[in-house]
Amino acid sequence: MEESPPFCYILKMAKLSFFGAAQEVTGSCFLLASDSTKILIDCGMFQGSRFNEKKTREPFPFDPASIDALFLTHAHIDHSGRIPKLVKEGFRGKIYSSHATRELAELMLKDSTGVLEKEAKRESEEILYTEADVDKAVSMWEGRDIHSEVSVGDFVVRFYDAGHILGSIMIAVDFGKERIVFTGDLGNADTILQKTAEMIKAPTYFVMESTYGDRNHENEQRSLMLERVIEQTVKRGGTLMIPAFALERTQELLSVISKMMDELQIPKIPVYLDSPLSIKATAIYEKYLKIPFFKFPNINFSLTTEESKKINDVTPPKIIIAGSGMSTGGRILHHERRYLPDKNSTLLLVSYQAPGSLGRRIQDGAGSVGLFGEDVPVRCHIEMISGYSAHADQETLFEFARAHSDTLKKVFLTHGEPKASLTLVQRLRDYLGVNASAPKYGDLIEL
């Protein structure tokens, strides 16, 4: 009788596929699969142009019904926006995120249905998903605490604070001896609302963002820059428009501007938060951060259309914060149509402006833009402050990788335009000796 070998070891492998945010900023979606388990990390919309809108509508490059669980890093639409579509097309697993992300994402997704309905009507297309699809997704959604552990088949998943926006997490997946960390979006190291991203013990692979992989923020000067922009706009008797994303940027700006007024650094002029989504999101921020945003003096909340229209009757100087952050929709467009031609007014860009977006065209120096069927000249002052970004800059990303470099086998850089990702790839290789790359859409890596 033939003897059996004393020990038999079967090597298990995981496969990582990149189905979004690969040499581009939006559309976050990563598939991690073993022989018997498949999990998805993020399921976001492609944003910034009509081309990206079409990519969002395309069928998933995998069978949604085959996915065992979905883990969401945070609530931004470029990370969460296709979740109802995933459910609509057959996903029946569980969705996991932090508690705050579950609340914020439900708010963001329900708000997006109105925009999607208008787009579908304009382009004579079927609507991507409805509020009923969002409700179904929420019914499959479980909020967890930071440092929670979730076991799904071959994978053990843990949550760590990413310091990006309220509720944002990094997702560490243990598989055999490997630890694969999906950073989601890492936070700016210098913010008044969030902590610095946590360190994670012994990661072997990073899937790390690189939105600002080729540049650094003006963190130390940003308050002075904002103060200067406000003072100069007030001196000219103009209106300061700030397109801002509903999550984090808006709440930080409200806090900073209120503090500046309290300390008499800037004049006490009217400030309008003209975004129903931002106002509802701010209420969630109040709940979790215990900051009384709605009691800030000089700050007015325009929830209804009528309240928004009344802002026009207020004589400048005044400050208007409204969505969307890239001027791709929302009430900011109405204010831009009114004040972009005004040489006394200012448009302050504090968010990343994706290629193809209206905000990017203005940032790149367009002399006029199309708004509501009109050709609107751009005569106002255009200012940019990247220090209020909720994203880590090149130095912060580099230091985060350096702090974990002893155990890292490879870093995959995502969530960045090619120039940003490839610049950081080269720096990690040259200065840390880390094996780094910037995958393309559809790339599959064996870990």
Q: Which domain holds residue 314?
A: 222-388
Both 74 and 98 in a single domain? yes
The tens digit of pLDDT for each residue in 160-187 reads 999 999 999 999 999 999 999 999 999 9
Residue 62 located in a structural domain: yes
Is residue 4 in some structural domain?
Answer: no
Q: Of 341, 371, 388, at which residue does a domain stop?
A: 388
Percent of the chain with pLDDT over 90: 85
In this prediction, residue 155 carries a pLDDT of: 98
Across the chain, what does the average pLDDT equal? 94
187 with 265, same domain: the answer is no
Q: Is residue 409 part of a domain?
A: yes
Kindly state whether residue 34 falls inside one of the protein's structural domains. Answer: yes
Do 350 and 438 fall into the same domain? no
Claim: this prediction has a pTM higher than 0.95: no
User: For residue 7, is it within any domain?
Assistant: no
Judged on CB neighbours under 10 Å (0-12, 13-18, 19+), 344 is middle
Count of the separate structural domains present in the chain: 2
Measuring CA to CA, how many Å separate 359 from each of 22, 257, 366? Answer: 22, 22, 10
Instruction: Please check whether residues 84 and 232 belong to one and the same domain.
Output: no
Tens digit of each residue's pLDDT (9 = 90 or more) over 90-136? 999 999 999 999 999 999 999 999 888 888 888 888 999 999 999 99
Non-local (6+) Cβ contacts of 25 within 8 A are 48, 78, 211, 352, 354, 415, 416, 417
Q: 182 and 296 share a domain?
A: no
User: Are 245 and 280 within one domain?
Assistant: yes
For the domain that residue 306 is a member of, what is the CATH number?
3.40.50.10890
Ramachandran bin of 217, using left for φ above 0, alpha for ψ from -120 to 50, beta for the remaining angles: beta
Given 388, 404, 431, the domain boundary residue is 388
Decide if 197 contacts 403 (C-beta within 8 A).
no
- Residue 206: band (very low, low, confident or very high) from pLDDT cuts 50, 70, 90: very high
Residues 248 and 115 in one domain: no
The order of strands in the sheet holding 15-18 is: 141-144, 94-98, 69-71, 38-41, 30-33, 15-18, 444-446
CA 39 – CA 18 distance, rounded (Å): 13
Q: Which residue has the tokens 């609107």?
A: 376
Q: Report the half-sphere exposure of 225 (CA within 13 A, side-chain side).
A: 16
The pLDDT assigned to 212 comes to: 94
Instruction: Give dist(CA 239, CA 18) in Å, integer.
Output: 43
> Are residues 171 and 64 both part of a single domain?
yes
> If pLDDT is split at 50, 70 and 90, which confidence band does 310 have?
very high
- Which of 88-92, 350-354, 421-425 bottoms out in mean pLDDT, i.e. has the lowest? 350-354
147 in the same domain as 288: no
Q: What is the mean pLDDT of residues 229-238?
A: 98
pLDDT at 121: 86
pLDDT-above-70 percentage for the chain: 97
Confidence of residue 11 (pLDDT cuts 50, 70, 90): low
Determine, yes or no, domain membership for 301: yes
Looking at the predicted structure, is the pLDDT value of residue 437 above 60? Answer: yes
* 32 shares its domain with 163: yes
Verify that 425 and 358 share a domain, yes or no. no
Q: Which of 349, 371, 388 is the last residue of a domain?
A: 388
Q: What's residue 53's pLDDT?
A: 82
Alpha-carbon torsion (164, 167, 168, 171), positive or negative: positive
Taking only the tens place, the pLDDT of each residue in 248-307 is 999 999 999 999 999 999 999 999 999 999 999 999 999 999 999 999 999 999 999 999
